[in-house]
Amino acid sequence: MMQIPRRSAARCLPTISTTVRSKPQARPRILRVLIGLLVLAFWICVWQLCAMAVGRAVVLPSPLAVAARFAALARTAGFWRALGGSLSRVTAGYLLGTLGGIAVGICMFFVRPVRTLLSPLLTVIRSTPVASFIILTLVMMKNAHIPTFITFLMVFPMLAGCTCNALGETDPTLLEAAEIYHVRGFARFRALYLPSIEPTLRSQALTALGFAWKAGVAAEVLCYPRDSIGLHLHDAKAHLETTDLFAYTLLVILVSLALEKCLRLLLSRGGAK
């Protein structure tokens, strides 16, 4: 039986021990949850103190009053119809903007005249306030379609510009190798360009989702289509029902967090495959 020299074994031991020590220890998940709950409790206490200092529910209702009103609204059919209507409009605009933005971004990168033609338009869309677009569209289309269109306008330039820029950052060494081995067309796009833009697109898709949801609800507030969260926010503001206003705002925040969590989970599973 062959024996390992003592010097060789001795040299291996420091390497093994160093590797074990350098292994990062994951932060306990329960600790992160506890810290998050403590931070949330702190800001709820600040909110409660401010409400007590103001002393007028019509100006600033207490957290308990908002929570009770939220629970009461959640037991009504109108609450869920509004949630479903807003989700359907924003989702449609987000999907159209994402798919259209990626397709146009690819065209802008590979076809220079398309980039020259569309770059000023994308710049104008990014620079124009959301409220201006909403007011302009009020005289051009039905109220029910405005939130979807506004959501599309917010997402489309983000994904188009991101896709075009990410394609331009593909490793030139890999492109030279593909040229040498005559890898062209869709095979080159799938092997080189797609892996290059995928991480950037995932990050941008998450960012765009938050903008899409807020812009869609803002459009609903100004055009108040039927069965929408924006309509309830508008009515609560018009009738000085501040508790309802806070309750529906809480709904907007919770849905935004849930959508981001779901999309992040979906993208992580897609990346694992």
pTM for this one?
Answer: 0.81
Residue-wise pLDDT tens digits, 177-194: 777 767 677 777 787 778
Residue-wise pLDDT tens digits, 77-135: 999 999 999 999 999 999 999 999 999 999 999 899 999 999 999 999 999 888 899 99
Q: How high does pLDDT run on average in the chain?
A: 85
User: Is it true that domain 89-272 has CATH number 1.10.3720.10?
Assistant: yes
Res 248 pLDDT > 90: yes
- Asked if residues 244 and 69 have their Cβ atoms less than 8 Å apart, the reply is yes
Residue 27: predicted pLDDT? 64
Backbone dihedral region of 55: left (phi > 0), alpha (psi from -120 to 50 degrees) or beta?
A: left
Residues 6+ apart with CB under 8 A from 165: 200
The structural domains of the chain, with segments of one domain joined by +, span 89-272
CA distance 250 to 266: 24
The mean pLDDT value for 15-21 works out to 43
Residue 172: predicted pLDDT? 77
Judging by beta carbons within 10 Å of its beta carbon (0-12, 13-18, 19+), is residue 14 exposed, middle or buried? exposed
CA distance 69 to 246: 9
The mean pLDDT value for 50-76 works out to 93
- Residue 60, SS3 per DSSP: coil
Judging by beta carbons within 10 Å of its beta carbon (0-12, 13-18, 19+), is residue 190 exposed, middle or buried? exposed
* Best CA proximity match to 97, nearest among 162, 169, 6: 162
CA distance 147 to 216: 5
CA distance 107 to 81: 39
CA distance 204 to 255: 19
Which residue shows structure tokens 């074994």?
Answer: 9
H or E element in which residue 208 lies: helix 194-223
Residue 271: predicted pLDDT? 59
- Residue 128, SS3 per DSSP: coil
- Asked if residues 226 and 85 have their Cβ atoms less than 8 Å apart, the reply is yes
Residue-wise pLDDT tens digits, 161-174: 999 988 888 777 77
The mean pLDDT value for 249-265 works out to 93
